[in-house]
């Protein structure tokens, strides 16, 4: 059981927008502005796409955006492209004994 809750799967058509939620608690997502999101294609290492809740690293498409409300963070991908098909993981720092927690991952099908 993962500490952060994500939907197991989402799907969308090319050009559409989708949102992936990431629900935590007041001990992780709710208290820190340190949520990050990672994209992982099959057989590849994860890639950072959002950090500090809504910041995009250099080189990441502006079709990816992040936000947070209370204990829930969200990743929105607009203008879906076939290459966006991948697994997506959220991550947050936590005040518990485990200092970092991941979501269980969401499989995006385009």
Partner 1 sequence: QVQLMQSGAEVKKPGASVKVSCKASGYTFTSHGISWVRQAPGQGLEWMGYISPYTGYTYAQKFQGRVTMTTDTSTNTAYMELRSLRYDDTAIYYCARDFSAFDPWGQGTLVTVSS
Q: Which residues bind partner 1 (CB under 8 A)?
A: 2, 34, 36, 38, 45-48, 51-52, 57, 89, 91, 93, 97-105
E runs forming strands in 1-110: 9-11, 18-23, 36-40, 47-50, 64-69, 72-77, 86-93, 100-102, 106-109
Q: Nearest approach, Cβ of 54 to partner 1 (angstroms)?
A: 12
Nearer to partner 1, 13 or 58 (CB): 58
Q: Which residues pair with 40 in a beta bridge?
A: 87
DSSP state of 84: G
Q: Nearest approach, Cβ of 14 to partner 1 (angstroms)?
A: 27
Q: Nearest approach, Cβ of 71 to partner 1 (angstroms)?
A: 19
């Amino acid at each position: 059981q993962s500490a952060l809750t994500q939907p197991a799967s989402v799907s969308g058509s090319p050009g559409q927008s989708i949102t992936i939620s990431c629900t935590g608690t007041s001990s992780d997502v709710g208290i820190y502005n340190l949520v990050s999101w990672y994209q992982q294609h099959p057989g590849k290492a994860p890639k950072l796409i959002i950090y500090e809740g809504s910041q995009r690293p250099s080189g990441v498409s502006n079709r990816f955006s992040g936000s947070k409300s209370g204990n829930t963070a969200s990743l929105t991908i607009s203008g879906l492209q076939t290459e966006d098909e991948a697994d997506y993981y959220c991550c947050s720092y936590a005040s518990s004994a485990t200092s970092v927690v991941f979501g269980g991952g969401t499989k995006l099908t385009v």
